[in-house]
Structure 1
């Protein structure tokens, strides 16, 4: 299928019959295309960029990746279960290696011929018989085309729309303020006085780079966090953590706290605040270097920002900094620009298993999870469930209706073992073991 055919006048593409529309050709979109094809569905995948990889392709306009980005989950916990990462690669591959992995995945399963690159989905609207009217156009302008699909899988990612907090006085600040989405290389930090705002993995990574490149660095966080090293007992920390999943949660928390006390020590003596929660109750911060540079005086921990002045920044504890550059590592908010706000319900989206829209049995979201492990295995089984659901719906609509009947009642369930923070940052937090057991149970229902 060539891109030219879509815009030509000789090919009738308005009604795509039983085909499924997949929006996005990143990790989730590729898994969706592959698993739908394996279940016999025709698939059209649209991506506004000119290549695959989504967030992991640093050349893409909306990619949050920067030059030094590596995985924070190790290979076995990250790879697609039917397409392993190379054995000779490091435990935590570089983003360029991940992109090469997706390229090989697409080639191995023959996915490229089903992807319309440089094509943006303008809107996707429900129509009669649970079908979808999808409008597409060339990403950089051009005539729109309207197509009809049997189902839509949304796989546009949730780490591309910057979440920028309203900070008092920031409009009067004379220094430079950027969001981490614009941060691509540590050269921008060189020789500057830098304030990094945000305690997530990206904020910690940039603070570490500032410790090496900037003349001074402050790191502002709203609360205390647990900083897990990448290696424990000589093994990747997530693999050690996964080997203890059979233990009761409280015992696992006790053991992890004990390990952190032995390896990292008392964070408060470094000037870091004491965490106000137990481990596993927020998204894990995996960083072996932050405490090291704090201990060496290269990073100064500070509290939450109170307000900006013309040249200084005040913090909640009354201290001040005078940075040249402020990097807001304040995360991203999910956006579905092509869907009417009411289609997915409330904010956060009202979804069963973070993927099924209870009001629309032919609309699905893939990859809208933040696991305590790698994401790709979860996305693989998500898209397997979507493909099997559509298969059952076509073959046995009565049985499918029985399964669907309870979906709305379960859309508010949280798939975690610990009591996870209710902040926007943790809306999609899942325990990978708990979540995969729920998906496995659904797959058994769909196959029975």
Structure 2
């Protein structure tokens, strides 16, 4: 069985940043990426997606995001950036290697890949994000709905929905973006449990991320205090608030139930709906840790403190939402958590 220093599971932004940090500290990480390229889930996001943070705040450590630093990069620009970042790394990146199980051994872990290949790793970094585990809430009557149902993870563009009656469920950034886009070609409602909250994209002539960086709220654990369940405010330059105010899409409280192709609203009305899009978030995608006793809690969430496993000193998590700060699972913030995890693991391995 091949032996490696650190197995980094996932070749997206979290895995790439962690491998870079480990290599700088003298480790020899091996990135295990399930897809055919080390860019994470970015190619699978919807076509019109753009970052909410300007390019100057959207880079991984060691490589600035090229072009106009004040623009908001498109999805495909992020894919190109991550591709270039992976190419410049002096680390072993293995694509087409899906990890199916991790088991503890006396001196580390055994990492089993799809197809039966196994690696022995002294340490493991779980950096697979959450896109592969979309949350599908138990909405009333959802199982009996005969219209089209898809999660935002499966949404690509509005064209196949033209002229239809669509309901988007959710109150976050993706929900509002998708609903506003669909409203240009279809009759679309945004169904939420509470009114949508907005945060201004620009304050005093500066992007919000300038102020988050200047004040330290973007990086410090103190920034966790900004978390306000159940949803975060939608960053907006004014277009989305204006769209909702104009009824394109309209916003309604979450429906009472679904049956067949019908949806029942709280005002007593019932109508036919063609499609339901669930922009209801994600959960950590960590099925390969299910057999690692104590690594996950009963709901499948990682048991950790700031990314350090509470059960195994050689196991780290990187790229979790709110791992240490509000930017932990973003391009602009994951590098900080990656560096912290790398320092901890190299100390565990006796390299520092």
* Corresponding residue of 1:223: 194
Retained in 1: the 8 A contact 2:131–2:153?
A: no
Residues 229-378 of structure 1 correspond to what in structure 2 (within 5 A)?
Answer: 229-243=200-214, 281-282=228-229, 283-287=232-236, 288-340=238-290, 342-346=293-297, 347=299, 348-353=301-306, 355-370=307-322, 371-373=325-327, 375-378=330-333
- 1:390 is aligned to 345
Shift in Å, 1:152: 0.5
Residue 381 in 1 paired to residue 336 in 2? yes
Shift of 1:99: 0.9
Larger Cα Rg: Structure 1 or Structure 2?
Answer: 1
Establish whether residue 49 from structure 1 lines up as the match of residue 35 from structure 2: yes
How far apart are residue 279 of structure 1 and its match? Answer: 7.2
- Structure 2, gaps ≥5 residues long: 218-222
CA contact (8 A) 2:135 2:282 kept: yes
> Which residue does the alignment assign to 1:123?
101
Show CA shifts across 1:376-401 (max 9, x none). Answer: 343212222222223323448xxxxx
Between the two proteins, the alignment pairs up a number of residues equal to: 337
1:25 is displaced (CA, Å) by 0.4
Which one has a larger percent helix, Structure 1 or Structure 2? 1
- Equivalent residue of 1:46, what SS? strand
Q: Whose strand fraction is larger, Structure 1's or Structure 2's?
A: 2
Gapped regions of structure 1 (runs ≥ 5) = 1-13, 138-142, 247-251, 253-277, 397-446
Residue from 51, 60, 71 that aligns with 2:51: 71
- The answer on 1:136 being equivalent to 2:89 is no
Kept in 2: contact 1:207–1:290 (CA 8 A): no
Question: Aligned in 2, Cα 1:44/1:241: closer, same or farther, shift over 3 Å?
Answer: closer
User: Any conservation in 2 of the 1:123–1:134 contact (CA below 8 Å)?
Assistant: yes
Are the equivalent residues in 2 in contact too, given 1:357–1:364 (CA < 8 A)? yes
Aligned to 1:16: 3
The structure with higher relative contact order (CA 8 Å, sep 6+) is: 2
Structure 1 CA distance for aligned equivalents of residues 210 and 76 of structure 2: 23
Normalising by structure 2, we get a TM-score of: 0.87
Q: What displacement does 1:235 show?
A: 2.7
Which stretches of structure 1, 4 residues or longer, exceed 6 Å deviation after superposition? Answer: none
Task: Measure the CA separation in 1 of the matches of 2:198 and 2:332.
Answer: 24
**TM-score, structure 1 normalization:** 0.70
2:189 aligned with 1:212, yes or no? no
Alignment check: 8 A CA contact 1:226 1:279 kept: no
